[in-house]
């Protein structure tokens, strides 16, 4: 084009713009230019070295709507690695609305040899796009062989997100792939859920695999696809030689509120599992079964294995008052755990305390009897602890707790004072008497408890003690209690 003709072109453009002025088309042109400038500025900040500017640009991108998709797609083909990762990740926010980004995400995966983070973000977004990303299934299957475990995991999740369209490829990997990829395929099939019903025979066959990861993921997947079919196989898998498989099953059962009652004996046996994670999840699963599990758990409390007793008590703590018939057995567990002061018995004692607390006020009378028996001194600590947790429900424990205020063990006496504080105002009359007539230790502990409970009726007693008590420690305790009451 000659220089003589350029002015005519400029004049033509000017005429068009002026002619569009005030029209919807002019507004669209102006708005589009403004939007382009805004995204250009955000991506420029992301490329910069100013950390604060990059953070703000990232936050701004997280707030924009689907209008950002074309700009994010464009950013995926850029040269800045950080910007590409951000774009790959942000695209997923728009789900199926970002279907137009699928080719760019596939391209990003193909060109990310040295950037596992980019592969991970791109795969994750494909999974969030869902079924419209079905063309990327081969790309995601190839990622099962990726060296980065996070990439492999996200690829499996993405195939699950794409849904039934992934089934043929996943079944091929499950039946023909190497062990690591078979395990990943099984997990992805489970994420598809009931729509993956045709995978059931292949998953059942995978239960016989030599690799624990394959068996574990297959049993988990079957539970997600068809819980009824899965259940008898889950019970068999509870005895698997590998703890990973056993852990997978009890974790799945623990997540269900109403498992078949036939599971209970199998789960009780897992309380003795050598893997604590398995035993703990078995206890959780049993705790969700309510009264149905109580007889088996009561029997487990008599096990010679301390771990079984501990986990049985944990299950009963979850069941609560519906298991009150086990209170005598729990008290025996507590007595056995406190017969000697041994570190290995502490978790058993703690579990018994939790279970007894969960039973509510019905445990108070037998624990009062324990607290009154000097031969059961080691159990006194547990009784006081449970009373403190029960609070006002333990009102019957007030008299024996008041006697402990002046006991031989300073720490236990103070714990008794704390329990009385938890029980609350109903303990005040007895505490006032202890403040006036108790021994030195009882007066100090009573002053503390009254200061914590508060109330104007205790002020005269505390003032008298603060001024007239012959013991300096008692006077100081009463003075501190006065301050505590007045500050309320």
pLDDT one-digit tens code per residue, 209-230: 999 999 999 999 999 999 999 9
For residue 41, name the pLDDT band (cuts at 50, 70, 90): confident
Between 160 and 252, the more confident residue is 160
Give me the pLDDT at residue 34, please.
Answer: 72
For residue 45, name the pLDDT band (cuts at 50, 70, 90): confident
Give me the pLDDT at residue 457, please.
Answer: 92
Greatest alpha-carbon span in the chain: 115
Give me the pLDDT at residue 2, please.
Answer: 43
pTM for the predicted model, two decimal places: 0.76
Give me the pLDDT at residue 8, please.
Answer: 52
For residue 113, name the pLDDT band (cuts at 50, 70, 90): confident
Give me the pLDDT at residue 37, please.
Answer: 81
Q: Where are the alpha helices (DSSP H) in 163-211?
A: 167-176, 179-192, 200-206
Q: What would the two tokens of residue 282 be? A: 């078995």
Q: Quick check: 301 and 332 in contact, CB under 8 A?
A: yes
Q: Quick check: 47 and 83 in contact, CB under 8 A?
A: yes
| CA atoms within 13 A of residue 471's CA, in its CB half-sphere | 15
State mean pLDDT over 360-369.
Answer: 96
Q: Is the pLDDT of residue 10 over 50?
A: no
pLDDT > 70: what percent of the chain?
Answer: 93
Q: Where are the alpha helices (DSSP H) in 301-344?
A: 306-319, 327-338
Ramachandran category for residue 449: left, alpha or beta (phi over 0 → left; psi -120 to 50 → alpha): alpha
Give me the pLDDT at residue 255, please.
Answer: 83
Q: What is the mean pLDDT of the chain?
A: 90
Q: Is the pLDDT of residue 27 over 50?
A: no
State mean pLDDT over 273-280.
Answer: 93
Q: Quick check: 362 and 327 in contact, CB under 8 A?
A: yes
> For residue 302, which phi and psi values (nearest 5 degrees)?
-95, 5
State mean pLDDT over 257-262.
Answer: 81
Between 300 and 343, the more confident residue is 300
For residue 340, name the pLDDT band (cuts at 50, 70, 90): confident
Domains in the chain (CATH in brackets) are 405-488 (1.25.10.10)
DSSP string, 444-461: HHHHHHHHHH--GGGHHH
∠ CA 192-230-273, nearest 5°, is 115
E strand or H helix at 43: helix 24-47
Measured distance CA(47)–CA(139) in Å, rounded: 28
Give me the pLDDT at residue 349, please.
Answer: 94
Contacts of 20 (CB under 8 A, 6+ apart): 26, 29
Contacts of 253 (CB under 8 A, 6+ apart): 234, 259, 263, 267, 281, 282, 285
For residue 38, name the pLDDT band (cuts at 50, 70, 90): confident
Give me the pLDDT at residue 31, please.
Answer: 53
Angle, in degrees to the nearest 10, between helices 81-91 and 102-110:
140
Q: Quick check: 380 and 370 in contact, CB under 8 A?
A: yes
Give me the pLDDT at residue 218, please.
Answer: 96
Give me the pLDDT at residue 314, please.
Answer: 96
Q: Is the pLDDT of residue 76 over 70?
A: yes
pLDDT single digits (tens) 409-434: 999 999 999 999 999 999 999 999 99
For residue 47, name the pLDDT band (cuts at 50, 70, 90): confident
pLDDT > 90: what percent of the chain?
Answer: 78
Between 3 and 80, the more confident residue is 80
In this structure, the chain runs to a length of: 488
Q: Quick check: 167 and 199 in contact, CB under 8 A?
A: yes
Show contacts of 152-155: CB within 8 Å, 24+ apart. Answer: 152/180, 152/184, 153/184, 154/120, 154/123, 154/124, 154/127, 155/123, 155/184
For residue 20, name the pLDDT band (cuts at 50, 70, 90): very low
Q: What would the two tokens of residue 175 be? A: 């039946």
∠ CA 342-344-345, nearest 5°, is 70
Give me the pLDDT at residue 32, please.
Answer: 59
Measured distance CA(60)–CA(69) in Å, rounded: 14
Residue 96: alpha-carbon gap to chain centroid:
29
For residue 15, name the pLDDT band (cuts at 50, 70, 90): very low
């Amino acid at each position: 084009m000659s220089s003589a003709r350029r002015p005519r072109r400029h004049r033509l453009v000017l005429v068009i713009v002026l002619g569009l002025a005030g029209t919807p088309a002019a507004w669209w042109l102006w708005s589009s230019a403004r939007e382009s400038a805004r995204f250009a500025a955000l991506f420029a900040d992301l490329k910069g070295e100013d950390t604060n500017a990059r953070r703000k640009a990232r936050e701004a991108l997280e707030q924009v709507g689907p209008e950002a998709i074309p700009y994010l797609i464009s950013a995926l083909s850029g040269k800045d690695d950080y910007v590409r990762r951000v774009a790959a990740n942000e695209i997923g926010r728009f789900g199926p609305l970002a279907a137009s980004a699928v080719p760019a995400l596939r391209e990003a995966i193909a060109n990310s040899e040295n950037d596992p983070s980019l592969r991970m973000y791109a795969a994750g977004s494909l999974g969030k796009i869902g079924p419209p990303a079905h063309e990327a299934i081969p790309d995601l299957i190839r990622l099962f062989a990726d060296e980065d475990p996070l990439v492999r995991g996200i690829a499996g999740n993405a195939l699950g997100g794409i849904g039934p369209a992934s089934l043929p490829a996943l079944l091929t990997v499950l039946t023909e792939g190497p062990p690591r990829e078979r395990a990943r395929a099984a997990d992805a099939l489970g994420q598809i859920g009931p729509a993956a019903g045709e995978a059931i025979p292949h998953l059942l066959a995978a239960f016989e695999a030599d690799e624990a990861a394959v068996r574990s993921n297959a049993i988990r997947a079957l539970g997600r696809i068809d819980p009824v079919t899965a259940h008898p196989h889950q019970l068999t898998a509870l005895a698997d030689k590998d703890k990973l498989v056993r852990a997978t099953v009890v974790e799945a059962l623990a997540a269900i509120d109403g498992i078949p009652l036939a599971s209970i004996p199998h789960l009780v046996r897992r309380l003795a599992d050598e893997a604590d994670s398995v035993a703990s999840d078995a206890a959780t699963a049993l705790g969700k079964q309510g009264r149905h599990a109580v007889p088996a758990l009561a029997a487990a409390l008599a096990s010679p294995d301390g771990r079984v007793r501990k986990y049985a008590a944990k299950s009963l703590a979850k069941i609560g008052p519906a298991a009150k018939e086990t209170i005598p057995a729990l008290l025996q567990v507590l007595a056995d755990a406190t017969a000697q002061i041994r570190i290995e018995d502490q978790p058993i004692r703690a579990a018994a305390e939790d279970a007894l607390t969960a039973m509510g006020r019905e445990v108070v009378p037998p624990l009062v009897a324990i607290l009154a028996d000097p031969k059961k001194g080691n159990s006194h600590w547990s009784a006081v602890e449970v009373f403190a947790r029960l609070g006002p429900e333990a009102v019957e424990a007030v008299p024996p707790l008041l006697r402990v205020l002046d006991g031989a063990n300073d720490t236990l006496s103070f714990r008794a004072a704390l329990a009385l504080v938890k029980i609350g105002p109903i303990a005040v009359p007895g505490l006032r008497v202890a403040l006036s007539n108790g021994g030195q230790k009882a007066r100090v502990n009573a002053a503390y408890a009254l200061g914590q409970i508060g109330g104007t009726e205790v002020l005269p007693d505390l003032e008298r003690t603060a001024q007239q008590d012959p013991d300096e420690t008692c006077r100081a305790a009463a003075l501190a209690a006065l301050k505590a009451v007045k500050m309320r």
